[in-house]
A and B are shown apart, each in its own frame.
Chain A
Amino acid sequence: MTVHADDSGLLVRSAAGGDEAAWAALVQRFSGLVWSIARAHHLGTADAEEVFQTTWLRPPEHVSQLTEPERVGAWPATTARNESLKVIRLGTRTTVTDNPSILDQGSNQGTPEDAVIESEEGAARARRLRQVWSAFCRLPGRCQQLLRMLIASPPPSYADVAVMLDIAVGSIGPTRARCLQQLRTLLAEPDAAGSPARP
C-alpha cells in the first residue's frame, strides 16, 4: 500500500483514534528518519535507541493537541530532534565519537555489509562506501543532520525539513550543495590508510 507523503497527518490522526494499521504505516514510514536524526546528533547506540523509543512512545493524540494541523506530519522527526538535544544537555550515556557507526559495527551481526563483500567487486564497493561514510561522519553536525534527513526513505518534504531544523526552506538547497562539497573535500583527503579515497 503506497500512501502519499501528504497523508502523514491523516495517519497520525487515525492512529490517535485507535487505528493500528495507521500506526504501523507511521512506524514504517518514519522509523528510519527518527534513527538517522538521533545518530546525526552523534548519539551512541544506547542513547539513539532511547531517543527512538521515547519518540514512538509519545501518544499521537498528544501530538494533535499541540501541533498545527499542517505540521502534524513532521511530529516524529521533530520529536526525535528535541529528544536528541535533551540527551545532549543531560550528558550522553555512551562516549560521544566522531564515528559511532564504525565503533558499533560489532553489535550488528550478519549485516548487509557481509553480503556485499562476497564478491571482489563487492569488496571494492564496500570499501568505497566506508570511505564515504567515514568522511561523512567528519562533517559538521548540522550538515550530517540535513543530509541524513534528505537521504531518508521516504525523504521528508523541504517544508518539513525546514521545520525540523528550524531553518528557511530557501536555504536547504544551497546548504545541501555546500555540505556535499565539504564531503567531496573530505573524500579527497587521505583516509585512515593514508591514501585519498578513489572516486
Chain B
Amino acid sequence: MPDDDELERELKSAEQLLDPIPLRLLRDAMDIFGWRTIDAELAELVFDSADTQAAELVRGSGQPRLLTFQASDLSIELELTAGGPERRIAGRLVPARPADVEIRYGGLQRTVTTDELGRFSVTLPGSGPVSLRCRPVGSTASWQVVTDWISG
C-alpha cells in the first residue's frame, strides 16, 4: 500500500482525470471581469434567509428566499421564489421611491421600472446568479447602486 504522500499524489491524478474543472467555467470566469459595475455603490447583503442554520427551505418548493441589501441611503429587499424552469424576483426599495432596476442574469439583463412605492416583480427563465442595479427613473447616468451576485 502506498504511503501518505504517494496516496495523495494518486488522489491528485485521479481528480485530474475524473473530476477536473470544466474548461468552459475557466473561460467564463475570465470574462466576468467585464461584467463588473464600476462607479456604482455596492449594496451589501445584510440578510439572507438561506443563512439560517435551521432553514427548511427546499429549492423549488415554492417557499421564497428573503434577502436584504444595504447601501448608504438605500436598501433593497428581495423575495426570490424558484420553482421549475423559472424564478420570480419580487422586490422593493426602502425608503420607497420609484427607480429603474436592471436585473442581470447570465450575460443577459432586463430592466423594469418600479411603481411609486419602489416595488417591482419579474419572472426570469432558467437559473444561475443574479445581480440588481438601480438608478432614478429615466436616468441615463451610470448605475447608482449595485447588489452582490446571488445564486438563483
Q: Interface of A with B (CB < 8 Å)?
A: 15, 18, 20, 23-24, 27-28, 31-32, 35-36, 39, 46, 49-54, 56-59, 61-62, 83, 86-87, 89-93, 100-102, 105, 108, 111-113, 116, 126, 128-130, 132-133, 136, 147-148, 150-151, 153, 176-177, 180, 183-184, 187-188, 199
Cβ-based interface call for B86 (8 A): no
- A108–B21 CA distance with the chains assembled, in angstroms: 10
- Other-chain residue from A15, A23, A101, A129 in contact with B13 (beta carbon distance below 8 A): A129
Q: Interface of B with A (CB < 8 Å)?
A: 1-2, 4, 7-8, 10-22, 25-26, 28-30, 32-33, 35-38, 42, 44, 48, 50-53, 55, 57-61, 65, 127-129, 131, 148-152
- A36–B128 CA distance with the chains assembled, in angstroms: 19
Give the distance to chain B from A147, nearest Cβ to Cβ, in Å: 6
Known: A57-B131, A61-B42. Is A93-B149 also a contact (CB below 8 A)? no
Residue of A nearest to B12 (CB): A151
From DSSP, what is the main secondary structure of chain A's interface residues? helix
- Other-chain residue from A50, A56, A136 in contact with B128 (beta carbon distance below 8 A): A50
- A185–B28 CA distance with the chains assembled, in angstroms: 39
Contact B1 A184 (CB under 8 A): yes
Give the distance to chain B from A197, nearest Cβ to Cβ, in Å: 10
Which of A18, A49, A57 has most chain B Cβ within 10 Å? Answer: A57
Contact B148 A59 (CB under 8 A): yes
Contact B60 A20 (CB under 8 A): no
Residue of B nearest to A33 (CB): B21
Contact A92 B59 (CB under 8 A): yes
- A120–B44 CA distance with the chains assembled, in angstroms: 56
Extra contacts besides A57-B32, A59-B42, A132-B11 (7): CB < 8 Å = A15-B33, A83-B151, A111-B20, A112-B17, A129-B18, A132-B10, A133-B14
Contact B18 A49 (CB under 8 A): no
Cβ contacts under 8 Å, B37 to chain A: 59
Contact A50 B127 (CB under 8 A): yes
- A24–B42 CA distance with the chains assembled, in angstroms: 22
- A162–B51 CA distance with the chains assembled, in angstroms: 21
Known: A27-B30, A136-B11, A184-B1. Is A116-B127 also a contact (CB below 8 A)? no
Contact B19 A24 (CB under 8 A): no
Q: Please list 27 pairs of residues, one from A and one from B, whose beta carbons are closer than 8 Å in the complex, sorted by A's number.
A: A27-B29, A27-B30, A28-B26, A31-B21, A35-B21, A39-B19, A46-B127, A51-B151, A54-B129, A54-B151, A56-B29, A57-B129, A57-B131, A61-B42, A87-B151, A89-B52, A90-B65, A91-B57, A92-B59, A93-B60, A93-B127, A101-B18, A108-B20, A129-B14, A130-B18, A147-B11, A153-B12
Give the distance to chain A from B58, nearest Cβ to Cβ, in Å: 4
Cβ contacts under 8 Å, A108 to chain B: 20, 22
- Other-chain residue from B17, B19, B33, B50 in contact with A126 (beta carbon distance below 8 A): B17
Contact B1 A148 (CB under 8 A): no
- A35–B19 CA distance with the chains assembled, in angstroms: 9
Which of B11, B57, B128 has most chain A Cβ within 10 Å? Answer: B11
Residue of A nearest to B54 (CB): A89
